[in-house]
Amino acid sequence: MALPYVIEPMTPADLDEVMAIERASFPLPWSKRAFLSELSLPYSVFRVARLRREEWGRVAGEVTAPRRWWSGRRSRPERPPVLGYTGFQVILDEGHIMTVAVHPEHRRRGLGTLLLLDLFEQARLRGVRRLTLEVRVSNLAAQRLYQAFGFHLEGRRLRYYGDGEDALIMWSETLDSLESQARLEALRGQLLARLEAQGVPDSGAGDFVR
């Protein structure tokens, strides 16, 4: 089946929509300047997800009023709006996941899983052998998602976040290992089956992860 979404590089033109998702997803959101800084770095990879044009205004069989997406604008935007995004940095043969987020109106539809599958593929294409990340101790849903992708706990950063909360340090399996490839293929198959079933909700985990 054809996926209803496309995932492509993030550009500065996407940042107004990205910032709306960012503010709705995180208690300590990044600034627009922080995103612009990341986009200027040759070792940063930031991607956005959109509906395919033919699916614009319809997600998992549910009609969405198109005017929501350009309310306040003078004219309809030239392309479908950003529904979610990911970002990671490549450091030698390691990748550091910076962020994953999905628009609140499009969570629980597997988009977070799709974005992470794309992130793994983009990392592999750039020679990354393992991925790492920090996640809030209290963010159990995100931890479960990462465990499903083969991440395991390897450490803890005390008072890592601006509000004083600790972060857990997690690392993935080696991306080119048979175990990792089999795991990703199984996750891809489960996602395709869910989308083919016209949007049966998943747990919602992973729709905003930092």
CATH number at residue 32: 3.40.630.30
Q: Is 146 in the active site?
A: yes
Instruction: Report the C-alpha gap between 50 and 69 in whole angstroms.
Output: 12
Q: Is 161 in the active site?
A: no
Structure tokens of 4? Answer: 């209803």
Reported as a single tens digit per residue, the pLDDT across 76-135 is 456 789 999 999 999 999 999 999 999 998 888 889 999 999 999 999 999 999 999 999
- Name the residue range of residue 103's domain: 5-209
Q: Which of 17, 22, 38, 134 is catalytic?
A: 134
Number of domains in the chain: 1
123 three-class SS: helix
User: Residue 34: what are its φ and ψ, rounded to 5°?
Assistant: -65, -40
Is 60 exceeded by the pLDDT of residue 203? no
User: Residue 135: what are its φ and ψ, rounded to 5°?
Assistant: -140, 145
Q: Which of 105, 146, 173, 179 is catalytic?
A: 146
What's the average model confidence in pLDDT over 55-84? 56
Instruction: Report the C-alpha gap between 159 and 161 in whole angstroms.
Output: 6
- Using CB atoms within 10 A of its CB, is residue 85 exposed (0-12), middle (13-18) or buried (19+)? buried
